[in-house]
Amino acid sequence: MLKVSGLHASYGLIPVLHDISLTIASGESVGILGHNGMGKTTLLRTLIGALRAHAGTVHLNEVDITRYAPHVRAKLGMAYVPQGREIFPTLTAMDNLRMGLVKTGATSLQPIEALLEDFPRLKPLLGRLGGSLSGGEQQLLALARALVGRPTLLLLDEPTEGIQPSIIEEIADTLASLRERMQLTIVLVEQNLEFIAAVSQRVLVIKRGQVGDEIPRKHLSDLSVMSQYTGVHS
């Protein structure tokens, strides 16, 4: 579904991604693990088109989208939940969800109502301002906002950052059940080993802007082995 070949990206003259290549099959859930500053966010921003690739290609379902604008990629099924969530603090939770519908051109709220069945914690919060929600509630809202347009490829940037363990588990469960039912393909950037192991079928390690090791599946549940790949501790 997603094929990245020889991708390079930089901020001004500072190169960040050096020759990233990876392939992700439809319906797969792939984790990307890496220390701070290794280029994880830069990779996701390049994949959604917020940052220009200097070299290399990105194919989505065999279409070369390397030069496509972000809104065109969104129409083709890509959705992105940015690091830090970026919900609109002065809009209500409901209006934040409506923003997720705008790009689809939908005129009815039915897609929001349907999706909320999977986000019971959000239902009583819809009239509250986004900025008044807890970090975990905001993360669920950002996830729901990304999903109302029924994407096929979901890119998540450190969804557990600064969030209570009880909601982290809820996010993992929600993702697992939605992935199956919506046939979502997921690319998850994370530093939380337990979460990445719970959500991903495969985990790639990114180091200094390159994809290094792939952690074998059998090691995903063994946190002590996982931490040896990266030196990251959960």
Which positions lie near Mg ion, rule CB under 5 A? 40-41, 83
Q: How far is the CB of 83 from ligand ATP (least distance, A)?
A: 6
Q: Can residue 37 be called a binding residue for ligand ATP (CB under 6 A)?
A: yes
x/- mask, ligand ATP, residues 38-57, rule CB under 6 A, reads: xxxxx---------------
User: What is the total residue count of the chain?
Assistant: 234
Q: How far is the CB of 15 from ligand ATP (least distance, A)?
A: 9
Q: How far is the CB of 152 from ligand ATP (least distance, A)?
A: 24
Return the sign of the alpha-carbon dihedral for residues 98, 72, 18, 218. Answer: positive
> Partners of 210 in the beta sheet?
207
Q: How far is the CB of 26 from Mg ion (least distance, A)?
A: 26
> Which of 8-16, 118-126, 135-143, 178-186 is the region at the interface with ligand ATP (rule: CB under 6 A)?
8-16
- 79-108 residues in contact with ligand ATP (CB under 6 A) are 83
Give the tokens for residue 43: 């990779």
Of residues 137 and 158, the one with the C-beta less far from Mg ion: 158
Q: How far is the CB of 83 from Mg ion (least distance, A)?
A: 5
Q: Which does 120 bind (CB under 5 to 8 A by kind): ligand ATP, Mg ion, none?
A: none
Q: How far is the CB of 32 from Mg ion (least distance, A)?
A: 10
Q: Can residue 232 be called a binding residue for ligand ATP (CB under 6 A)?
A: no
Q: Which does 38 bind (CB under 5 to 8 A by kind): Mg ion, ligand ATP, none?
A: ligand ATP
Q: Can residue 16 be called a binding residue for ligand ATP (CB under 6 A)?
A: yes
Residue ranges in contact with ligand ATP by CB under 6 A: 11, 14, 16, 34, 36-42, 83
